Structure 1
Amino acid sequence: MLIPSLALQIQTLPDNPGVYQYYDKEGKILYVGKAKNLKKRVASYFNKVHDTAKTNVLVKKIVSIKHIVVPTETDALLLENNLIKTLQPRYNVLLRDDKTYPWLCIKKEPFSRIFSTRKMIKDGSEYFGPYTSFKTVYTILDLIKELYPLRTCNFDLSPSNIQNDKFKVCLEYHIGNCKGACEGYETLENYQKQVDAIREILKGNFKESMKDFKKIMLDLAQNLKFEEAQKIKEKIEILENYQSRSTIINPKITNIDVFSIVSDEAAAFVNFLQIAHGSIIRSHTMEIKKKLDETDEELLTLAIIELRERFQLLSKEIVVPFEVDLGEKIKVTVPQLGDKKQILELSIRNAKFYRIEQLKQLQIVDPDRHTNRIMAQMQKDLRLPVEPRHIECFDNSNIQGTNPVSACVVFKDGKASKKDYRHFNIKTVEGPDDFASMTEVVYRRYKRLLDENQPLPQLIIIDGGKGQLSSALKSIDDLGLRGKITIIGIAKRLEELFYPDDSIPLYLDKKSETLKVIQQLRNEAHRFGITHHRDKRSKASLVSSMDNIPGIGEKTMTTLIQHFKSVKRLKLATEKEISEVVGLSKAKKITDFYKN
């Protein structure tokens, strides 16, 4: 039996790729694992008895779960590898150094060599990766070799050695794979241009180099070397489809801390990532409850100071989404692009997922607090004088002008109150006039609430643009409710929110909870209205059929339709089959009518 806190953590995990970490009651790390779907993978540990005793013991010890969300499965694989080495969990197989992933190195030397390696040497050389497959590394190296004839020897090609004719060209030169820099047949400037182009390829910038790729492929095709052209094409496709830049970023980025913040009306969530040698070695997200109307800048500054002290962080540089003042000794970087921007976006994504997870838990554990938070957020987003505890939404339905109806749905404290839903059959409007219909139903709805001393809503939502809103506003003015109730219209195409006497619509964030509540209201009103409209059309069709059969009343016809399910089946039924339902006399009238 799962402890409630653990069950809640599993229930609110995201369905994204990532890495999960299990901790025991003392807060010690037990296990690190990767997953294509975090929620499914973690849940699988707890919904069955495992084949090995060791795994069952592990599951019994788990008290809390932490996770880091990453963009792809490849990122999860690389991050898992790094965290296992750093944290050394008890139940993980410890990874040795010879199990590390390969890198591509641009050696810092005259006429730079480019080769694969598992070890990084701090001599100023550039390293790219890591890569999860040597196949990809070899593909890149082969492609570079075909595009750019670089040297593969390990000679010291210093200017003095070249001038003194210390080396002689080898077979690679004679077969065209090298231009003979060792004997001065190629200038350093021209060689470095090729290295610069390769550097861009390794960074994932194929824009310029792809022109060279395609040119080689076309040249081979024009020379009727189709097999070789196909090989180049396959290599291009592999490089295009493979995500060579991973979450484990450039190894030159070392000893920095990344902080990001996501906030709402009630709380802020600050994510922290610690980076060493281009790898994530620690991730943590903290929640800060708001007391006053604190800004994100104030909260992030406080969180950075707290986290640096808690984890004893000594880095000289931090990466943040906006400027913060931490004194002169710490370099504050607000990246606009590149590797640091990429890792900042990952931190923001983790903060968002943590917020969503906490809100799901709050909704389960403390629904009242969850409701209060949403109401406060809606009040702020929609610029309302009070919280919209009672909301009503109107929608018209008619098809080619027939059977016009309108629906009113009611939400109280952010949830549907179905007992308060109302249907309206249009009485005073002839033909398909949605504007006049809206004026009628809004007047009838609130005239009745006023007459019966029923509570009025704080917010009215009209499904439609400016025209529908203006029509509803006429009735609000006639009833003297202008200023007592906020009324807005929502246009379907761009989700624009219109206010009375304001020509400029309000646009909410597509992911905001306020817009989701409004969309839920609008969709519910549409569903409720369409259902009533279909019922009315069906009944009209039935009444039309009943009116044409002499001696057969509405009650009899309803009984028959309930039994035979449709008028068509009733027409095909025999007199005996019908008589078993309504008697012989009525059955004869019905069969005679349909025969004639």
Structure 2
Amino acid sequence: MADHPIAFPDELLEQVRVLPDLPGVYRYLAEDGTVLYVGKAISLRKRVGSYFQKSDQSPRIRLMLGQVVRLETTVVRSEAEALLLENNLIKALSPRYNILFRDDKSYPYLMLSGHAFPRLAYYRGALDRRHQYFGPYPNGYVVKESIQLLQKVFRLRTCEDTVYANRSRPCLLHQIKRCTAPCVDLISEDDYRADVTRAVRFLQGKTTELLQELETRMQECATAWRFEEAAVLRDQIAALARAQEQQVVESRGSELDADILACVISGGVLCVNLAMVRGGRHVGDKNLFPAHAEGYDAAEALAAFIAQHYLERTVPPVLFCQPEPADSGVLAATLSEQAARKVYLNSNPNGERRVWLEMAEKNARLAIRQRQSATATQQGRLQALIEALDLPEEAQRIECFDISHTMGEATVASCVVYDRLDIQPKEYRRYNIATLKGGEAPRDDAISPGDDYAAMRQVLLRRYSKIAAGEGLVPDLILIDGGKGQLAQAEAVMAEIGLAGPVLVGVAKGETRKAGLEQLILEGSHATVRLPASHPALHLIQQVRDEAHRFAITGHRARRAKARLASTLEDIPGVGPKRRQKLLTRFGGLQGVRAASVADLMQVDGINAALAEAIYAALHG
């Protein structure tokens, strides 16, 4: 091989030399075993060999190659199979030098169930062939807004099956004209099915055709002097017309399902705008900013997004792309095989489709400008905090702790992380704090109910003992939500475990607990500092502290609700651990048990009629 300025280990070069001329996936590993990069190739020998033969590599590639000590490969049957494996490994391993779109949440759907009287519902998760789905949609707000519209126009039921099966009279939704009350037979199955069919046609984009049909029926009802029916149809027509007017984008005379993708790089920031068109109607968009995007061009980034986003996920028939993605032929073939129908990647559309792409590109550029503005604001706040607390100039990482409980019940501690000029939700942690209870044997880690000092000590020990042992990142600043007592506990913990790096600051609420009156308590001297309410450093502290409080109280409420309902089940004679576990498994959790009817409860193995009645009475008494 040609001379190269990077000195590669001989074992690595030998691995490269004997690679097969076959399609596959390769992984570059660092000395500690960390996967640095995952790639695919039609020919492993040619693709991997090119890294070690070229001397004009980009800075990103040169930096990566300087850390590579070992190579792993997996041979597959085709390039399409390599694409699938590559993206599975990228998602699983998050390699430092692969662009990574952190879009791992499932997208929401609008669902019409397969019952005789179908239920209209918001849905996330795996699709079931028994039901009918519309979407996916870019966010939950769009789905919920669509459900509200369909309730107003077609008055379909949205209640859970357990509620529907046990109604004896119409609910409030019927009274406010949002449901036709099929639960108590106020509408026939045929009439309800007709409403469902109209709702489906609306969701499929056949709004104009549907409006014409409704107008015809309204005229017929008016002519026959059925004025109440005509009034209902008039309201449906008005609601549908308003919905049609509100559409930002509409494909004239089309029922097209498509996604519009535009990738833009500006000022060193890369953004992909994803807009969704369903039934010819624009249903919303979202902007995605990937990690590790340095050194990628727009075509490579868009190809990576398409692979990571659509493989193993529903894909529409057409993707309109700007620019044309790298490896577009392989992507189209792989997506077509996955969808069992032809999927097109169109980078040069005409007419309104071109307008859609231009709109997506403008939205991506706007999102970049907004992100740059927000980043500048965060940089200013962080710099002000560094100056106000005399932190090191390179300080970046802040961790904040809060304790939440109700009269000592279900104590939960939260740790939130601010790093890289933004909050980092994936790095948040919650800690359940055990408390002493009467009649129970004491636990080593249990504290007295309501002892905030002991709770703070426990959570700090649990988190920073591991970090002191090298299992995590050491923060530059630790914020403790509390007064001098909580700060003293933090100081004692740091001294005990020998972690001297982080600066400790207590954040005490003001005299009236009003925002802007917070006092900062400095470690060591415990001197208090009050920054002006308009100070950017205080704004950053408030942002992180409020997030810690939100995260703690959310966890506390969930734990408290679970404990209270679980204790209710435990108090029911005849419901032991095995039956309790069967109930929770059958109904998907505690709330499901509460929503279940007596007949539903009797379906659980070991629950007879008398016990089902007792359980129902205990949970609804």
TM-score, structure 1 normalization = 0.36
Larger gyration radius, structure 1 or structure 2: 1
